[in-house]
Amino acid sequence: MKTGKDVIAYAKDKQCKVVDLKFVDLLGTWQHFTISMDLLDDDLFEEGNGFDGSSIRGWKAINESDMLILPDPSSARIDPFCAETTLSLVGNVIDPITRQPYNRDPRGIAGRSEQYLKSTGIGDTAYIGPEAEFFIFDNVQFDQKENQGYYLIDSDEAIWNSGSDEGPNLGHKPRFKGGYFPCAPVDSQQDIRTEMILEMEKIGIAVEKQHHEVATAGQAEIDVKFDSLLKMADTMMWYKYIVKNVAKRHNKTVTFMPKPMFNDNGSGMHTHQSIWKAGKPLFAGDKYAGMSQEAMWYIGGILKHAPALVAITNPTLNSYKRLVPGFEAPVKLAYSSRNRSAAVRIPMYSPSPKAKRLEFRTPDPSCNPYLAFAAMLMAGLDGIENRIDPGQPLDKNIYGLSPEEAKAIPAIPHNLVKALSALDKDRAFLLKGDVFTNDVIDTWIEYKLENEVAPSRLRPTPYEFHLYYDC
């Protein structure tokens, strides 16, 4: 659907009862409100619909709270989880006084990154292909009070339940780090993942594969076909919405938290990316691993700006429980072909020029996809514009390097505070073309420090009692 009139006709044809308007907050969570079908007219797509922006995390102050959502006609879908037939529209946020895009609207930032790409003349389309991992649990409990703090997760297929009285316990539970690709009955969640991909396909998401992931306790991955940057960010919002709600149908719960349990793999979001121009791929050439010079410079930009990037692509305190040297997630800033221990990998599945791309393996799915995809593109473009040399590839297992060898390779920051500091110092590449603004970056850093870092410093963890109670 290209116009508001197309959407109106579609809604009437589907006999929609109401219209749900969705937008994304600064941290990457969908917000929504529902309006009457009577308000689905040309004015909605031209004038927007108002809401209170002061109640949204990281947004307006109460004295300047009025905002407008302007629906994107191309985003029209039928919501698969509403009892009444509901038209869903995703929109951009604009200021009602100036009628200009709101600079803290993540969807607007993603759109501006695409515009900036075109303005450089380097290319006209950035393709993004994320591989998001998540856990499907049967139970989760957590609390934090002055005198206690705990979390408890559980899964029927978790190896820690191998000795539980399940009346009967049939075994067949994936062991720690033993969940990659086993068939049923060890893989107990084939049907629920298939239901998830079928719901995705109903709303037009092209799915490539689904499978159990490495960890015990219901770790999963669903891969969707690559798409242009803004469209893929929209897709990832639908992706999260669908998997969470399908799980709820089955009385289960999904989390995209990067490291919800100790001693097994966390959930990453390896992100494939490439640039095209006039329908032709720009990353195929005669350089290393069949890549072009532009692709090598793009890699140089990613590696150079990675310490700042991870403040956006790995934006939670929990993200850095996954990003620990020597474990499953790549933290060393090197590139290689086929090598999954490097932060940047060049996949070698196909010789076709159209398949030439790089994969940044450090990000995780707790990120806001609009901000993360835009930031990665801006880092890569900075690499091309400034011809940043990525150095020599590292074609060996980084996890197996000696301490002396490993020390010589730069790494990402080991916690969120250091990542935010790196972002504060290295932000110029994000400001080009007013894609990001100083206000957005300052707000991001301030929000993270005040609402996540500072509160966590005040609260002891259960493991601290194990370490220090007898001191």
Residues designated as active site: 52, 131, 133, 213, 221, 270, 340, 359, 361
3-state secondary structure (DSSP) of residue 228: strand
What is the rounded distance in angstroms from the CA atom of residue 243 to the CA atom of residue 194? 10
Token pair 């590839």 is at which residue?
Answer: 393
Closest listed residue to residue 443, CA positions, set 17, 8, 15, 27: 27
CB 3 within 8 A of CB 73: yes
Tell me the torsion sign for CA atoms 348, 352, 354, 356: positive
**Structure token digits, residue 240:** 């999260």
Q: What residues have CB less than 8 Å from 125, skipping those under 6 apart? A: 114, 117, 228, 275, 276, 277
Chain centre to alpha carbon of residue 226: 14
Q: Are strands 66-71 and 49-52 parallel, antiparallel or unpaired?
A: antiparallel
- What is the dihedral angle through the alpha carbons of 84, 32, 270, 217, rounded to the nearest 10 degrees? -60
What is the rounded distance in angstroms from the CA atom of residue 177 to the CA atom of residue 323? 17
What is the rounded distance in angstroms from the CA atom of residue 391 to the CA atom of residue 374? 24
CB 27 within 8 A of CB 448: no
What is the rounded distance in angstroms from the CA atom of residue 417 to the CA atom of residue 435? 24
Helix, strand, coil fractions of the chain, as percent rounded to 5: 40, 20, 40
Side-chain half-sphere CA neighbours of 449 within 13 A: 13
Token pair 């370490």 is at which residue?
Answer: 467
- Crossing angle of helices 293-313 and 416-425, in 10° steps, is 120
CA distances from 268 to 131, 259, 314, 364, 406 (A): 8, 9, 9, 4, 22
Chain centre to alpha carbon of residue 267: 11
What amino acid is encoded at 131 in this protein?
E
- What is the dihedral angle through the alpha carbons of 135, 138, 142, 148, rounded to the nearest 10 degrees? -120
What is the rounded distance in angstroms from the CA atom of residue 229 to the CA atom of residue 263? 34
Is the backbone of residue 147 left (phi > 0), alpha (psi -120 to 50) or beta?
Answer: alpha
